[in-house]
Amino acid sequence: MPKILVPTSLQQFVGGNDEINVGGTTVKEALDQLLERYPDLKKHLYNDKGELRHFVNIYKGADDTRALQGLETPVTDTDELSIVPSIAGGVGVEMARINPNALLPEERVEAVSFSNEEILRYSRHLILPEVGLEGQKRLKAAKVLLIGAGGLGSPLALYLAAAGIGTIGLVDFDAVDLTNLQRQVIHGTNDVGRSKLESAKETILDINPHVEVIGFEERFTSQNALEIARDFDIIIDGTDNFPTRYLTNDVCALLGKPNVYGSIFRFEGQASVFWAGHGPCYRCLFPEPPPPGLVPSCAEGGVLGVLPGIVGCIQAIEAIKLILGIGNPLIGRLLTFNALKVQFRELRLRRDPACPLCGENPTIHELIDYEEFCGIRGEEAPPPQLDAIEEITVRELKRRMDSGEKLTIIDVREPHEYAIARIPGTRLIPLGQIEERANELDPNQEIILHCRSGKRSAEALLKLKAKGFKNLKNLKGGILAWSEEIDPSVPKY
Amino acid sequence: MIRIPKGVEEAIRAHGAKDYPRECVGALLGGLDGEIRIVQEARPLPNTFDPSWEADVRGGAIEDVPGQERRYLVSPDAMFRLLREERETGVKVLGFYHSHPDHPARPSVFDRDWASPWYIYCILSVRQGVPQELTAWQLDEAGDAFLEEPIEIV
């Protein structure tokens, strides 16, 4: 049987094979048999008119069939046909990285008009050749959804508003807290206690009254995500928890929209653009969420305030590049940033063919229960193990301290937390060291454990219990409760 | 990611300078280490572009006739021989390099339209005969964008 040799560049369309045996008495028949087996190859070989594209040459033995009888060239059983790609190129119009019309419908862009005030406002954009009036129209036509109006959402909202994005959607159900102000620069001191949505909307409109702000003062969940995201062109992930990250990713993949991702932790940040169909999705990179409690949130791990400023701005730049169709978006690349070293690194990402969402054989066709996926029952419901933990309230502890009782109280926080605030009469053994330093403690004695809020000390308790400690109690609510109910002079942090 | 030994990078730059003001073209041969491409040889190939090819491709006479200053074409025979050598020796064709005389090392729409999937395309900018930046590109999954690949010179 004649065989067809396939170059590496096309092997992905023929099941990874480099040699395929087919039948047929002409080149056309042989190719048709090949395409029957591997229909994905068709667009690489034939144009719309059924002619062999100039993109490929078919060789019979060492002869180009174009110099023989073309597709009608006869083939025999012992002939070897080779698909030889054309290698050509040259300078010309510089290519736009992504076809921008894939993102915004042309009619919507054409319908945009500007007042004189807007022309003046955006003058610094308009004089950039890569933006111009056409680009600014695209920005105004665009609808961008921000999930989260916090650390990442702040710079995003500020700069996207300044850039003239026509519609900014905001999803956030939280109220502004004092601890937010260290990094969430869209909110101010007078906003503490207010809805983040209201506060952000006000600042956005102050920067640029031409922006239409659509607020969603609710949690982004499987129940509402598709409805909310459907009307937007680009979704920007500014969330702070894994269930929402996976939800955002899945919604984007199901709707075919780009997911501009950003994340921060202490001094490091990451950014990428996940766009199923154009590159990998979040699940290609992280198919499994980490076990709950392993990756602390900002509240638990801390973060350098200005870091989300940098990452959020990078996300804003990516969104703008996608809308304008200029530059190289971070599709297929994970940008990592280390603030201490001022180091930017890039990791090449690829779509995982086995990805259940965007791979060859997707199994995910609808949104799932993300809390369950991430192993979390929900913030209100405590993990089942807590039922097996004995607790002591701060009032009870205070009462026993005042009565002169000698107590062993172990603080399992980190040294720098101990320096900020401590409960008197406690000893510091950080959670990470509790197992190896357990021999410093008496397993038969009553030991009270505390941390900031009661979570880490519960973990410490379970670790000691596993080592045979009999008499353990967890201080309910931690030092926060102590500050709240017993001694307000102890700072909360 | 593509790893190019310093000597090979210098050979590419020398080729670009030599053929200036015409575009040079060559093959990148080597092997794979997981996802990373390791280039062992940059093999110059003759640029066989001529305007009749473009007329052929575009199906008729063309007004703006480009020359080898703006186009490169590897003859199908040369490509056939490369692929045959690849099968015989096991040394893989990893991609191709070409130069952009007096143009930035960024792909054009034409470059993108003619790119094959999987192959890495290196572009060398040569200004006034002097080789400048070298970049690398690969077609994305959907085939409609060229994504930049990092180059490591070793």
Residue A379 pLDDT:
44
Chain A residues touching residue B115 (CB < 8 angstroms): 89
Q: How far is B121 from chain A (nearest CA, A)?
A: 10
Q: How far is B42 from chain A (nearest CA, A)?
A: 15
pLDDT band at A40 (very low <50, low <70, confident <90, very high): confident
Is A10's CB within 8 Å of B66's CB?
no
A33-69 core/surface letters (b: 16 or more CB in 10 A; e: else): bbbeebeebeebbbeeeeebebbbbbbbeeebbeeee
pLDDT digits (tens, 9 = 90+) for A123-148: 999 999 889 999 999 999 999 999 99
Residue A378 lies in a domain: no
Q: Any idea which residues of A carry the catalytic annotation?
A: 298, 451
Is B110's CB within 8 Å of A92's CB?
yes
* pLDDT for B25 beyond 80: yes
Is A92's CB within 8 Å of B146's CB?
no
Regarding whether A109 and A77 lie in a shared domain, the answer is no
pLDDT band at A101 (very low <50, low <70, confident <90, very high): low
Chain B residues touching residue A94 (CB < 8 angstroms): 104, 106-109
Regarding whether A334 and A453 lie in a shared domain, the answer is no
Chain A residues touching residue B80 (CB < 8 angstroms): 57, 59, 62, 64, 82, 84
* pLDDT for A383 beyond 50: no
Regarding whether A260 and A166 lie in a shared domain, the answer is yes
pLDDT digits (tens, 9 = 90+) for B26-54: 999 999 998 899 999 999 999 998 887 87
Regarding whether A55 and A129 lie in a shared domain, the answer is no
For residue B139, the cross-strand partners are B146
A441/B93 Cα distance (integer angstroms): 65
Chain A residues touching residue B149 (CB < 8 angstroms): 348
> Is the Cβ of B22 closer than 8 Å to some Cβ of chain A?
no
In this complex, which of A62, A99, A333 lies closest to B80 when CB atoms are compared?
Answer: A62
Regarding whether A61 and A142 lie in a shared domain, the answer is no
Residue A92 lies in a domain: no
Is A94's CB within 8 Å of B56's CB?
no
Residue A91 lies in a domain: no
Residue A94 lies in a domain: no
What's the structural domain count of chain B? 1
Q: How many residues are recorded in chain B?
A: 154
pLDDT digits (tens, 9 = 90+) for A104-114: 888 899 999 99
Write the CATH number for A78: 3.10.20.30
Regarding whether A124 and A222 lie in a shared domain, the answer is yes
Phi, psi of B139 (to 5 degrees): -65, 140
> Per the structure block, which two tokens stand in for A439?
């021999």
Domain final residue pick, A348, A373, A398: A373
Write the CATH number for A455: 3.40.250.10
Residue A94 pLDDT:
56
ipTM of the complex in this document: 0.88
Residue A61 lies in a domain: yes
Regarding whether A317 and A344 lie in a shared domain, the answer is yes
Residue A285 lies in a domain: yes
Is B92's CB within 8 Å of A8's CB?
yes
Question: Nearest chain A Cα to B71, which residue?
Answer: A90
Residue A107 pLDDT:
86
Please state, rounded to an integer, the average pLDDT across all residues of chain A: 88
Question: Nearest chain A Cα to B142, which residue?
Answer: A278
Chain A residues touching residue B100 (CB < 8 angstroms): 91
With 0-12 / 13-18 / 19 or more C-beta atoms within 10 angstroms meaning exposed / middle / buried, residue A446 is: middle
Report pTM: 0.57
Identify from B3, B69, B85, B147 which residue to disrupt to test chain A contact, counting A C-beta atoms within 10 A and taking the largest count: B147
Regarding whether A299 and A268 lie in a shared domain, the answer is yes
> Is the Cβ of B66 closer than 8 Å to some Cβ of chain A?
yes
Is A57's CB within 8 Å of B114's CB?
no
What's the structural domain count of chain A? 3
Q: How far is A51 from chain B (nearest CA, A)?
A: 12
In this complex, which of B109, B112, B116 lies closest to A85 when CB atoms are compared?
Answer: B116
Domain final residue pick, A373, A408, A433: A373
Regarding whether A153 and A79 lie in a shared domain, the answer is no
Write the CATH number for B91: 3.40.140.10
pLDDT digits (tens, 9 = 90+) for A148-187: 999 999 999 999 999 999 999 999 999 999 999 999 999 9
Domain final residue pick, A373, A403, A426: A373
Regarding whether A215 and A307 lie in a shared domain, the answer is yes
Residue A14 lies in a domain: yes
Regarding whether A268 and A130 lie in a shared domain, the answer is yes
Helix (H) or strand (E) holding A309: helix A307-324
Domain that includes residue A408, residue range = 384-486
Regarding whether A389 and A368 lie in a shared domain, the answer is no
SS3 of chain A: helix, strand, coil, percent, to 5? 35, 20, 45
Residue A164 pLDDT:
97
CA dihedral A68, A70, A74, A78 (to 10 degrees): 80
Domain that includes residue B119, residue range = 2-153
Write the CATH number for A155: 3.40.50.720
Residue A408 pLDDT:
93
Please state, rounded to an integer, the average pLDDT across all residues of chain B: 89
Chain B residues touching residue A52 (CB < 8 angstroms): none
Question: Nearest chain A Cα to B86, which residue?
Answer: A7
C-alpha gyration radius of chain B: 15
